[in-house]
Amino acid sequence: MAKKPGGVKGPRERKSSGRGQRDLRVRVKSAKGRKLSSTLWLERQLNDPYVQRAKREGYRGRAAYKILELDDKYRFLVPGARVVDLGCAPGGWCQVAVPRINALGEKQGKAQGRIIGVDLQEVDPIPGAEIHVLDFLEDGADDKVKAWLGGEADVVMSDMAASSSGHKGTDHLRIVALVEAAAQLAFDVLSPGGTFVAKVLAGGAEQSLQTMLKQNFDKVANVKPPASRSDSSEKFVVAQGFKGNRDGFMPQDAEE
């Protein structure tokens, strides 16, 4: 019996089973003018089971499985949910959300949800999702999002990452600042009880972010889903049960 696609083992998991066993790993030859780092990246992509699975299942990238796995565990993308996807390009997270929140109204007897995706660049249309070009850092961005959504959101999610500088410490600080800005927008648009999900890079500088989230949500989890590469420092924060404080910080006496 053939194994299901989800059960295909990655290249490092395959074991030799004796004489005649072939190495099924795709190897990429170096090309003139191409950097070694580019060759290694291409080889990793060609051998990544999540990349292959995304192609088979029609997702725009392997990142779709990160939000899928997070939602399988924490159940925030439910029928009827109103969702904002910050930095939504290329659209994989929106693709996952659409059927789960019933954005197309295909689930009979279930509430119909809505998802707004925003990004700095144009994103190819996704059935069931409403995509807008927007810098979420600009003044009035929260009002625009709520107007497009028709009210407050139940979920704000972000897979954004700042442009890489090549310096690990600098990149860590940049993405923490970006996530903190995303959290501030979430405080402006989330309804009480809502959920905030975002990618961060482990590195020790995110303590202020963790403190801010713990002050404003009932539960905060830090997770590395299976789809996140083992050699990556990325993790995801899942903050649930928004307390409704629009300022982002609880009063001083609440901290004591």
Residues at the annotated binding site for S-adenosyl-L-methionine?
Answer: 91, 93, 119, 135, 159
Q: Dihedral through CA 100, CA 87, CA 205, CA 221, nearest 10?
A: -10
Hey, what are 149's tokens? 């959504």
- Of 10, 13, 46, give the one whose Cα is nearest residue 28: 46
Query: What is the rounded distance in angstroms from the CA atom of residue 134 to the CA atom of residue 160?
Result: 14
Cα separations (Å) of 141 from 22, 74, 242, 246?
A: 54, 28, 20, 15
- DSSP string of 28-84? ----TT--HHHHHHHHHHHH-HHHHHHHHHT-SSTTHHHHHHHHHHH----TT-EEE
Residue 210 CB neighbours (<10 A): 15
The catalytic position among 199, 214, 224, 235 is: 199
Query: CA nearest 201: which of 231, 156, 244?
Result: 231
Q: H or E stretch including 217?
A: strand 217-223
Give yes or no: 235 in active site.
no
CA atoms within 13 A on the CB side of 102: 13
Residue ranges for the known binding site are: 91, 93, 119, 135, 159
- End-to-end CA distance of the chain: give it in Å, rounded: 61
Residues belonging to the active site: 199
